[in-house]
A and B are shown apart, each in its own frame.
Chain A
Amino acid sequence: MINNIKFIQGNEACVEGALYAGLDFFAGYPITPSTEIAEMMSIRLPQIGGKFLQMEDEIASMCAIIGASLTGHKVLTATSGPGFSLKQEALGYAIMAEIPCVIVNVQRGGPSTGNPTHVSQGDVNQSRWGTHGDHAIIVLTASNHQDVFAITVEAFNMAETYRTPVILLFDEVVGHMRERLVIPEKGDIPLVQRLKTAIKRDVDYHPYLPREDGRLPMSDFGEDHRYNVTGLFHDMWGFPTDNPQVVHGLLRHLVDKINNNVHQIARLKEYFLEDATTILISYGSSARSALHLGSALHLAKERRTRGERLGLIELQTLWPFPYGIIRQKCENARFIVVVEMNMGQMLHEIKLAVNNPEKVFLANRIDGELITPDDIKKIIRLIQGKGV
């Protein structure tokens, strides 16, 4: 099945995952290091009858995918740092109006135009709190191309399941490097399709009236039903309201539909955790360095018997942060080392999650280069009081 095996960039693996998930509309404005996503979409989408739009900027791209999603399409936009900043206002609109959509941010160094061609993981908190107002959000990531593919499909599934924007937070190393991807057969990964209303044309349809299970069936905009969509707090018809009860109920709904499902949304991978005394927690490309170190030590069995038992948790769901899961998995660790390429953004959440925050340390690198296994090893030795 050589046709199913590809040797491609992470950005291309994301495109393959999106197409597998049923994406048929992309709007974007190219920016390094995400450009290959737009480039591949401009080639692939016309071939399958989908639409590719290069917009005038990132705000317009975000607005375009919101409109296209409302008409029943699976949609994506892709950007990096400065472009992600521009998208924040419309991202809030999509959260408020409950529009399923997927936004890729292939992170580069920031703030501002920053370090465009180099790796960083500095947008972790922006992806959580970048748009104003109280809200919940789903943010996913991955460290290798097979996982980039799978998590992209998951992003589309979660966007439909929870009627929400989902952010894919990749980084320059994963986006640009090439490695093997085996594309699964159709049907191997289940797909969640749009939940559509059964209400017939010319019968009253309430776009924001939840079913008993809390989900909101959609009606393709411009087809059978006329309804209102707004960024203002709205009632079940979609019309603006400042009724305190409705405002309270809607905000609770927007937050609860995600935060009450942390365990369904949480994705993480575990390596060598069973007897680990030091646990590394990482995500994205820095998790590859952590895994390299963990595997090397695991292979060197005699080191493990000398007490250097290193385990790894690779986070794939960054938000909502799985506090309970992390607390439980880190219960027996003497040290927890968070490996990330920023000033300690996930570090903060992990300190909140565990019973003893003083045992949590940061192993980071912020110079635009990928953190190496040796960098991590030196920091672990310092923490353990062994010197470098």
Chain B
Amino acid sequence: MEKCRIIFSGSGGQGIITAAVILAEAAVLHEDMMAVQSQVYGPQARGGVSRSDVIISDSRIDFPKVIQPNVLVCLTQASYNTYSPMIRPGGLLLSDEKYVSTDRKAEARQISLPMYEAVMEKIKKPVVFNICVLGVLISLTKLVKPESIMKVLETRIPSELVKLNRKALDIGIQMGAKHFRG
């Protein structure tokens, strides 16, 4: 596999850092790949533009930060405005319809989906929004298997919440599948 460089961006509290850690951990622990995850610390982590970088590869990763992402996830307008110019030409830019108006030209495939709305309609709990985003992401990129994400989740969350997260992941996977291009 070529190196995949991902930036998750949004506002503090949306769970983007958790999503980044879960994805990278799934790749390392359950798919035998290399991954490095880092994040912006400081006031951003408590509101404002928040960011987490993930690199997944089948070989050693030296430089741990993402300079030009293949995949960019933007969950707020501010993060879209900040990071969309960074994307690698031909990359994938995933955003949420409710929060982001994709009004900029980017040399990337921009996919805007109603992920938040779907979670609120079918689950009614915003807390699993980030897992739905992860579902879309793995459905579009095939980076890791859904089972690997679930294995990580099972070690991180109370057992009574596993089903809820599975449901959110599946909603995301189904949404993403419609846009998957082999």
Contact = CB atoms under 8 A, between A and B. Distances in A.
Nearest to B151: A2
A288 B28 contact: no
A118 B39 CA distance: 11
Contacts of B61: 179
B132 to A, nearest CB: 22
Interface residues of A, number: 25
B63 A177 contact: no
Given A288-B62, A289-B62, A117 B38 contact: no
Interface string A352-388: 0000000000000000001011100000000000000
Contacts of A178: 21, 24-25, 35-38
A7 B34 CA distance: 10
Contact of A288 (B21, B42, B63, B67): B63
19 contacts: A5-B28, A116-B42, A117-B41, A118-B42, A176-B39, A176-B41, A177-B36, A177-B37, A177-B38, A178-B21, A178-B24, A178-B38, A179-B28, A179-B35, A179-B37, A179-B64, A285-B64, A289-B63, A372-B63
Q: Which 3 A-B pairs have the closest CB atoms?
A: A117-B42, A292-B62, A117-B41
Interface in A267-326: 285, 288-289, 291-292, 295
Interface in B21-56: 21, 24-25, 28-29, 34-39, 41-42
B120 to A, nearest CB: 30
Among A2, A33, A117, A173, max chain B CB count under 10 A is at: A117
Given A117-B41, A117-B42, A179-B35, A173 B64 contact: yes
A357 to B, nearest CB: 29
Given A179-B35, A291-B62, A295-B62, 15 more contacts: A5-B28, A117-B41, A118-B41, A118-B42, A173-B64, A176-B39, A178-B24, A178-B37, A179-B36, A179-B61, A180-B28, A180-B35, A288-B62, A370-B65, A373-B63
Nearest to B30: A2
Contacts of A69: none
B41 A173 contact: no
Nearest to B59: A295
A107 interface: no
Contacts of B24: 7, 178
A32 interface: yes
Nearest to B45: A117
Contacts of B62: 288-289, 291-292, 295
A370 B65 CA distance: 8
Given A7-B28, A32-B41, A292-B62, A180 B21 contact: no
Nearest to B152: A7
A372 B34 contact: no
A384 to B, nearest CB: 22
Interface of B: 21, 24-25, 28-29, 34-39, 41-42, 61-65, 67
B34 to A, nearest CB: 7
B42 A7 contact: no
A372 B53 CA distance: 15
A254 to B, nearest CB: 38
A7 B37 CA distance: 9
Among B28, B29, B39, max chain A CB count under 10 A is at: B28
A178 B39 CA distance: 9
Nearest to B34: A180
B63 A173 contact: no
Nearest to B52: A178
Contacts of B34: 179-180
Contact of A2 (B29, B38, B42): B29
A370 B34 CA distance: 21
Nearest to A177: B38
A32 B41 CA distance: 10
Interface in A134-174: 172-173
Among A172, A173, A178, A291, max chain B CB count under 10 A is at: A178
A146 to B, nearest CB: 10
Contacts of B64: 173, 177, 179, 285, 288, 370
B38 to A, nearest CB: 4
B87 to A, nearest CB: 17
A73 B113 CA distance: 57
A5 B35 CA distance: 13
Contacts of A285: 64
A295 B64 CA distance: 14
Contacts of A176: 38-39, 41
A174 B67 CA distance: 18
A33 B41 CA distance: 9
Interface string A165-200: 000000011001111100000000000000000000
A176 B62 CA distance: 15
Nearest to A145: B36
B41 A7 contact: no
Given A176-B41, A180-B35, A7 B65 contact: no
